[in-house]
Amino acid sequence: MKSLVAFCTPFFSAFFVMTVLAQEPKNDLFTRLDANKDGKVVQSELPENQRPNFGKIDANSDGAISRDELNAYTRGGSDDVTPTHADVAYGLHERNKIDLYLTESKTPTPLVLYIHGGGFRGGDKSSVNAGEIRAFQREGWSVAAINYRFTNVLPAPGQYLDCARALQFLRHHAEKYNLDPKLVASTGGSAGAGTSLWLAFHDDLAEPKSDDPIARESTRLVCTVVSNGQSSYDPRFAEKAGIPRPNFERHPFFEPFYGIKVADADTPEAYKRYEAAAPITYLTKDDPPALLNYSFQNVDVTNSSDLGLVVHHPKLGIALKQQMDKLGIECIVQYRAAEGNKTQRHGGGDPVGTVDFIKKHFAAAP
């Protein structure tokens, strides 16, 4: 367990520790770290000796630390909820594990998947937000948090296929866990968002004639709600959306994700991999609705822009919405307003919450 004192190393100074312990809202640790007062803490705003811990603090891997994430880290995750079933194996690799947070019910419960972020190179299912689990359970839904193999083991689409297998596993064992196999939604941030979108749009991966009963199960979703999601990891797509290509390619996720070098980014093999890994490649009119939330503002990207903004930019969601609108599929994109920490819905209208969105589409599902 990470203690407050362990986090507040000598570099933070005793003053920071005293400030947090005194719980002075105007001078708390988050406020002091948030140097530009934009309501979030990015890696460069952490003391240098705490920057390696950024990925641990940024629980949803959206490229920015929220106040809640910082508080959870400094108190050692004491607000966590306990899985009903932990580390349920859905495959042979040590990362092929699921944590199940089941809701007691006399009837089968709908299921919400949580796929963690971390650039496909890190992260863990334990980063699932305790508040969201409770909110889902109040609706009578169960939650499954999924781990998957990283890109140091295999490149994309291996991570997607792991999560597809986890979904098939859960459907196969729906009766055992009292789940409704027809009502499944997926959530996640960053890499978990891209994976959720890929599952949502890809043709059903079920193999009806397979000797493996799990492989015969469907991978289709009712809807998806994601945070800081990428509708494509193709640098050419990003550039068309308004994000300079060199910025996208220099992010550390890029080479291991595709299993190529940046020097080979303009080859037929690279193009093939870009297409296969892009959720938007598979978009058709029979795909489920999507809600995409971004913790960043819809601002211009320059060569000096933070890489967290580059790969989590609202423009990646807006480009998806344009295509989904043409197909008549509901797609809502929300991001930080230009001023303050308010949420702005692209195109106008009132912001929509995660629970309300999923509830609406669970109710409408056949």
| Percent of the chain scoring above 70 in pLDDT | 86
More confident residue, 74 or 123: 123
pLDDT value of position 12: 32
Average pLDDT over residues 86-93: 98
The 3 state secondary structure assigned to 58-72 is CCCCCCCECHHHHHH
DSSP H helical ranges for 48-205: 54-57, 67-74, 130-138, 158-172, 174-177, 191-201
Percentage, residues of the chain above pLDDT 90: 69
Give mean pLDDT, residues 212-241.
96
Q: Where in the chain is the domain with CATH 3.40.50.1820?
A: 85-364
pLDDT at 6: 37
Residue intervals of the chain classified under CATH 1.10.238 are 4-74
Place of tokens 């320059």: 302
Q: In the predicted model, what is the mean pLDDT of residues 300-312?
A: 88
Res 170 pLDDT > 90: yes
- Give the architecture (CATH level 2) of 85-364: 3-Layer(aba) Sandwich (3.40)
**In the predicted model, what is the mean pLDDT of residues 205-212?**
98
Q: Whole-number mean pLDDT of the chain? A: 87
Q: What is the pLDDT of residue 74?
A: 62
Global pTM?
A: 0.81
Which residue would you say has higher pLDDT here, 304 or 128?
128
Sequence-distant (6+) residues with CB within 8 A of 364 are: none
pLDDT beyond 90 at 166: yes
Question: Is 80 exceeded by the pLDDT of residue 240?
Answer: yes
**Rounded distance, CA 117 to CA 128, Å?**
10
More confident residue, 239 or 78: 239
* Tokens matching residue 287: 């795909």
Backbone angles phi, psi at 127, to 5 degrees: -80, 0
Identify residue 230 by its one-letter amino acid code.
Q
For residues 200-222, give the mean pLDDT.
Answer: 98
344/324 Cα distance (integer angstroms): 19
pLDDT in tens, 183-196: 999 999 999 999 99
CATH class of 4-74: mainly alpha
pLDDT the model gives residue 279: 98
pLDDT at position 75 is 55
